[in-house]
Amino acid sequence: MKTLKRIAILTGGGDCPGLNAVIRSIAKPAMAYFGATVIGIEDGFEGLVEGRHRDLSYRDVSGILHLGGTILGTSNKGDPFHFPVVTPSGIEVQDCSSRAIDHYNDLNLDALFAIGGDGTMHIVDKFSDMGLNFIGVPKTIDNDLASTDVTFGYDSALSVATEAIDRLQTTASAHHRVMVVEVMGRYAGWIALGAGLAGGADVILIPEIPFHWNKVFEFVQERSRRGGRFSIVCVAEGAKPADGDIVVKEKDVRRTDPVRLGGIGELVGKKITEATGLETRVTVLGHLQRGGSPTPYDRILATKYGSMALQLATEGKFGYMVSLRGTDVIGVPVKQAIMKLRTVPPDSQLVLAARAVGTSFGD
C-alpha cells in the first residue's frame, strides 16, 4: 500500500450535484487514515495552471455532503493544453501544460484527483502519460462517459427534468397547448430520454435519432384529433432534424470544444405552431438541471466513487478512473473511458419501452 502524505483535489468542467460529496469522501479518509495534507485546487485546471490552491481542513469538508456546486469552484475554460491567455492583441490560446506541471511539482503531490467529465478525463490521460499521478472521477449530467454504467450528477439532473415535465403537464392540459421542454444533452440524449419516459412525454427528440419535422407535426396533430388536447415534447439540446444540423447558440474559443448549443427548443416550438396552428410554449431548463442538492442516489454514488479513488491511489493505480459496473465500483484505465462517448443506442430497452407506450421519436 502506497502512503499518501500530500494529495490534491480539483473539480473541472461544468458543475453538478454531488461534487462536494466526492471531495468529502476523498479528503476525510485521507486525513483520518493517512494524516495527509489535502490541497484544494481552485477553479479546476485553471487553478492548477495559475497556482491557485488552499489547504483543506477537516472542518472544510464536513457538512458538505448535501450541498450542490463545488466548494473548490470549477471552470470549463481551463484546459492546460488549450489555455486562453489575454494578450495585447486579444485572447490567444496557448499550451500552458508546463505551468500546470510546475505547480504540481511545487506542491510535492503523491496524487491528484480530478473530478470531471469527458474533457477532464482527456486531460487526466495526457498528464498521466507525462508521469503525473492522476486519478479521474467521472462526473457529468449528460451521462456520456464510456466505461461506467452511470456518472454521478445524472440522477439529480434527471430528477429536476422529470419534475419540470410533471409540472408542465398540468398547465399544458389546462390551456390545451403543446409544451416543448429543452433539456441538456449535447451529444447524448440520456436526460431527454430518461426524463421524457419518466414524465410521460409524448415526443422525445434526442441526438442519436435524427427526427423528421413532418413526423413530429403529424404526431401532435393526430393526438389533437383523437382528443388529446395537449402534447409534451422533450428535446435534448443536441437533437437535430434528419435534413439539418445541431443548433449552435454561440462559439467560445476559450473552450476546448468551442460550440455552445441552445435554441433547438425554440425552433421546434416555432415550427410546430407554423405547421399545425397549435398553440405552443417553450421551456428551456438550462442550468436548473445542474443546480441544487444531489439526490440520495448521487450522494451514495459520489461517496463510493471518492473512497474508491483514494483506494486506487494507495494501490498506485494512476491513470485510472473509478467506474460503476453493475453494483460494484472499480477502477478502469482512463484511456479506456475516453475512447468514445457513451451515447443512447437507438435500439436500447429504454427507447423500445418508450415506443411501446406510444412515444414518438420523430423518425
Using DSSP bridges, classify how beta strands 231-236 and 111-116 pair: parallel, antiparallel or unpaired.
unpaired
Q: Which amino acid is at 182?
A: E
Residues 6+ apart with CB under 8 A from 94: 83, 85
Contact 192, 185 (CB under 8 A): yes
Q: Give the span between the Cα atoms of 216 and 222, in whole angstroms.
A: 10
149 by DSSP, 3-state: which? coil
Pull the grid cell for residue 290: 445542474
Residues 6+ apart with CB under 8 A from 356: none
Query: Which residues are the active-site residues?
Result: 142
Q: Could you give the residue ranges of the DSSP H alpha helices within the chain?
A: 19-34, 45-50, 97-106, 118-129, 154-175, 190-199, 213-225, 264-276, 296-314, 334-337, 349-356
Helix%, strand%, coil% for the chain, nearest 5: 40, 25, 40
Using DSSP bridges, classify how beta strands 280-284 and 248-251 pair: parallel, antiparallel or unpaired.
unpaired
Using DSSP bridges, classify how beta strands 134-138 and 111-116 pair: parallel, antiparallel or unpaired.
parallel
